[in-house]
Amino acid sequence: MGVKGYEKVIEGADAILPFKPGELIDSLFLDIGVRRGLNKGTKYGMRLVMGGIQVLEDFAKQGNIVKKLLATSSVPDGINLCKGLGFKEIPTAPGSTRHHFELDLETSDNPLLKEYQQIIKQHKTKK
């Protein structure tokens, strides 16, 4: 997805489609934030990430396969989290203070996504 396509999605409500069970989801924004200075911030952040993965697995079990996750961040912790999870940084619009990332869920080698990928394979063999 190019800069213009990404900006259109994050800025235009008309680019957001209604959720319909059984349909392919091309891109999904997963917004996670943990307040800075929180004593157990890393623990809470990981809990949020794992909860997001559980949502993806639940979607897949219903036949809603998500192709890509999209993320943005302007803070070092968020940028490092995206990179650590295997997201690839994509170009941003000139003057933007936020970094944009995407993760291809089907081809990612992140071990946290193995169960999700297995559900997708099972779903495809049932068709």
Q: Give the angle 112-54-30 at the CA atoms, nearest 5°.
A: 85
Between strands 25-29 and 99-104, the pairing is unpaired
- The residue with greater pLDDT, 54 or 19, is 54
Q: What's the rounded mean pLDDT across residues 107-121?
A: 94
> Of 76, 69, 84, nearest to 34 (Cα)?
76
**Tokens at 111, concatenated:** 């071990």
Q: Answer whether 0.85 is exceeded by the pTM.
A: no
pLDDT given at position 7: 55
Q: How far apart are CA 13 and CA 6, in angstroms?
A: 13
Q: How would you class 66 by CB atoms within 10 Å of its CB: exposed for 0-12, middle for 13-18, buried for 19 or more?
A: buried
List pLDDT tens digits, range 31-85.
666 566 666 656 767 788 888 899 999 999 988 999 999 988 888 888 888 898 9
